[in-house]
Amino acid sequence: MSERLWPSGAATAIGSMPDTDPAEAAAVVFGELPDFPHLPELPGRGVGADMLGRTAALLVDLAVDVVPSGYRVVDRPGHEHRRAVDLLRWDLDAVQEAREKAGVTPPVFKVQLAGPWTLGAGIELPRGHRVMTDRGALRDFTSSLLDGLAEHVAEVQARTGAPVVVQFDEPSLPAVLAGDLSTPSGYGTVPAVPAPEARQLLTTVIEGARRITGHPVVLHCCAAKPPLGLLREAGADAVAFDLAALGGASAAFLDEIGEVWDGGATLFLGAVPATAPGSPPTLKDIGEPVFRLADRLGFNRSVLAERAVPTPACGLAGATPEWMRRALALTRDLGKAFVEPPEGW
């Protein structure tokens, strides 16, 4: 699916933001990213507001609670699960209010949730093993996730009036593929998941999300050297990654990026630092590496306006409120530069 809902030159963000006020976060998103706003995530509020807790709040007929090692499957929703559901509801209220105050319906609205491998790696079964180690449990989680996503998308559409794009976050995927996740004892590691198996499950959720929304699906991985080819082979319409991952990148990795782009995928390019750098960057500082990437891969620079969306490098939860606003403004201005590059770039 290549349909692009967002206007040429639109910019968006990955998801998380600093502080704890959902009304303020939603107002900033609609103000700074009017062409491609997203549902803000505020992990600073604690348990239930982080990526795993927030995604678990969407699960249907499955519940999790908090134990010393993290999230664990339980028989019935407890206090922390109910808190995660409430936090998400408050966030949706804030988004609806911000949209009404803005007085316009955005062309598209993005929601984010943990992908199946990150969810399966980060939540434990009752005996302490990761959900991903039990393929039956992992299938159940995936099915529950898609059921919950359908309800979530319907509510977001009703509150925003906009078509919804789904972004699956998979920061744990490289560790899943490499066998780098620890066992409950801490003395061993979970066996690596073969790439074909990882790809198949991703395909299941991508196709499921696409059926729910009828629109492109984004896969995000901000780990170093993300498996972009695998994400695209799984069916992702767009892949999001941190441009800093290109630092010292091999020719093979650059070829992989070029193949993904040439194959028709949209690249969500994490160009703006997620936390304030030592010296304030200019728009040119931020933009030149992106234009050089297009040049280096042999693409006409017009590809940036056609099949690229600028974003911060990753989530902004660790940023100061001042840098968060500056980062979103730079991201928005970079999108405009994709359409009309300033002289001298």
31-68 pLDDT, tens digit each: 999 999 999 999 999 999 999 999 999 999 999 999 98
How confident is the model at residue 187, as a pLDDT?
A: 86
Arithmetic mean of pLDDT, 145-168: 98
pTM of the predicted protein model: 0.96
Residues 275 and 319: their CA atoms lie apart, in Å, by 5
Q: b/e map of 271-302 (b: 16 or more CB within 10 Å)?
A: bbbbbbeeeebebeebbeebbebbeeeebeee
The number of angstroms, rounded, from the C-alpha of 169 to the middle of its chain's C-alpha atoms is: 4
Q: Which two tokens stand for residue 26?
A: 């939603």
Arithmetic mean of pLDDT, 141-149: 97
What is the percentage of the chain residues whose pLDDT exceeds 70? Answer: 99
Residue 1 clears pLDDT 70, i.e. is over it = no
Concatenate the DSSP letters of all residues of 234-301 into one string: TT-SEEEEEGGGGTT--HHHHHHHHHHHHTTPEEEEEEE-SS--SSPPPHHHHHHHHHHHHHHTT--T
Residue 2 clears pLDDT 70, i.e. is over it = no
pLDDT tens digits for range 246-266: 777 788 889 999 999 999 999
Residue 89 clears pLDDT 80, i.e. is over it = yes
DSSP-derived 3-state class of residue 223: coil
Model confidence at 319, pLDDT cuts 50, 70, 90, reads: very high
Q: Which two tokens stand for residue 257?
A: 């990026």
CA distances for 9 relative to 219, 300, 328, angstroms? 20, 16, 14
CA distances for 168 relative to 103, 208, 233, 284, 330, angstroms? 29, 12, 15, 30, 24
Which residue in the block uniquely carries the two structure tokens 């976050």?
Answer: 169
* Average pLDDT across the chain, whole number: 94
CB 259 within 8 A of CB 299: no
How confident is the model at residue 17, as a pLDDT?
A: 97
Residue 301 clears pLDDT 80, i.e. is over it = yes
